[in-house]
Structure 1
Amino acid sequence: MKRPGWNLEQLAGALLGRSHRAEAGKDRLKLAIELTRDVLRVPADHRIGIVPASDTGAVEMALWSLLGPRPVDVLAWESFGHGWGADIVDQLGLDTRVITAPYGELPDLTRVDSTDRDVVFTWNGTTSGVRVPNAEWIPLGRNGLTICDATSAAFAQPLDFERLDVVTFSWQKALGGEGAHGMLILSPRAVDRLETYTPRWPLPKLFRLTSNGRINEGIFRGETINTPSMLCVEDYIDALHWAGENDGLIGLVARADANAKVLTDWVDSRDWVTHLAVRPETRSNTSVCLTIVDPEVAAGGDEAAAACARGIVALLETQGVAYDIGSHRDAPPGLRIWCGATVETRDLAVLTDWLDWAFAEVKSQFMDSTKYVELQSQRQPLPLSSQS
């Protein structure tokens, strides 16, 4: 979701046709790093780098470069956490405990080793709508490293950098930037691990953060490993300037909180929908995930709830009201509505009226048993009369 007031003219100064290794290109990349530090309040002793392949590339770079000397705890309560755990176990073959919880819940954080094991987790479960409420469960001064995938939390939730050794995110999530670029933030402890430990597996060039046993400082000055899109860089800079002009991190968090509250207040007054996240204190303020709990629909089982959700998504898309609000393919069927800071609160208030309307339309069709049986066999969106 682009920031309010965004238009293509904002990118008129992009260095198109120029090398990112030219001084002008390096200056723009360096500015993106500096603005990131300012808006996110990253400590001065932490390094910030622009890396390839979005948040996925940043996380994998950290896993392959840093893990190995200690056993690992992985927290997994949604698809991305499970993915990181699978990579660590199946690809790296490390001594790993994957501490899990079902969609909608948070794992027991007291089971995480408080001292010696490395820890890998997502701060905000993008596909479940469940986030950690804070970082107090991570002790200061622990021996192991803490690697945090923060891609849908950065710029919307405060991150405790004193307790996090690696933080990753991508531009397209909370600030609505274009994809393909990731951010990697390293604490001094993470840098020390890079300079004192050599993985036993070969590292592809795109993952190499060191040269001759020392950190490659150029990466953290805007000298990227691969060729970035300077158009995307300019778009990210524009979003960071907008964030700075709107009270920085405090303003961004407040906007996301206000947006999520609109949906929470609406859900609390409805009996057909509820949050996937069980506990209010762990509910995301960005990727809000909802499930259909209407008693008549629920009587049809999981397939009925899934069909109802698909019908709502399809109907609102045909009306030009909302796009891509279906749950993630790996998550329980339902709705997933983005509430990050670039969304206007008033638009979400309008959306709740449309959601009520769409549900009523879908349910009226849903109760036609002939059409429902046909739907179950075809597993297609509900055959809405307004679409014919």
Structure 2
Amino acid sequence: MTVFGIPTEFILFAVTLLGVALFHHHTLPVALSGLTAIILYKLAFTGFHAGAGLAGLAGHMAGEWVILTNLLGLLLGFALLARHFEDSGVPQILPRYLPDGWLGGLALLVVIFVLSSFLDNIAAALIGGTIALTVFQRKVHIGYLAAIVAASNAGGSGSVVGDTTTTMMWISGIAPIEVFHAYVAAGVALVVCGIPAAIQQHRFSPIVCDAPAGATIDWPRLGIVAWILIAAVVTNIVMNLGFKELASAFPVLGIAVWVAILLATRIRQPEWSLLPEALKGSLFLLTLVICASMMPVERLPEASWHSALTLGFVSAVFDNIPLTALAIKQGGFDWGMLAYAVGFGGSMIWFGSSAGVALSNMYPEAKSVGAWLRHGWHVPLAYVIGFAALMLTLGWQPHQAKPITAAIETAPHFNPQ
């Protein structure tokens, strides 16, 4: 069943994403309603990749549960990791080393970029927003807020631990090196949007580089951050090199992160009170990923640099998590180019990425599409220039692996008919 040639599943999914954008205070109920509608439609009319009816639904989820469980473990674990980093004292010390003038604003964006390469981009944006409140005397320009989101998304685009989208690629079997070249585009984009944003902020409210009195670094807590990241990276490398079958059958990566967190409680206790809210946000993202996994991707446009560029603009309106899930399921993309496109592209509007939504909760005045586009004009410009820089230097480097599709096709009860 199609409407103007568009499969009904895509229309239901688009309505769900539109509801998320319009009712951003009720994202989980909207996402769950959309998932329910898609499941009921597929039960009644089309069936699933693994077959028809409830058996097909069960087979589909049997092919997805490892990826979903890994993603849940990493999202919750990285929420605690980000608070460990925030409580380490490093964000309080950083202002002491920022230069004066507009260069200070640019340097802060670079710091956010670097933080996002090993912290979740949401955490990097919130840490940057917190520092900005201090160094700009609680007066932060909307154009600079857009640049903070852009810097956090850019920094996470080339790292499999820096963004939910790249983490999804990683746990789906895509090697970290295959997304690393996103930094070619991300670095160019950071400069293109960072300089005008820093000048905007300097004219609006100049930087004051004073660290709070008595601020110190909690080195054991900072060591815990490194320990958790090392545990995640080493586990993933070992699984991919020698135990691929186990990695595809059991959520080893998510469990390894939580083992590292629990072992570190002897040194410093994490902020357990963060988990209820983090769980709510994680369930929302997982719901969108499940919706995306049920789309008939064989009807999507063929993977190309044109479609990657387009997905970047689409991610400014629709959350980049489900877009990435669709692309991974389809396969054949240049993963570094895609990571940059859906990551940085989501910065063009405040609700286009989770980092933008999180920062806008801290700065409610940013929840205006008109103001964001008017003052953050440098972000879409930077997106296009960064994308062009990557195309002109490294070109389109597609990879044919289809990790999620392969997982579905090898799941129990899979029936290609």
TM, length-normalised to structure 2: 0.29
Of structures 1 and 2, the larger Rg is shown by 1
Please state which structure has a larger fraction of its residues in strand.
Answer: 1
Higher helix share: 2
- Larger RCO, structures 1/2 (Cα 8 Å, 6+ apart): 2
Using the size of structure 1 for normalisation, the TM-score is 0.31
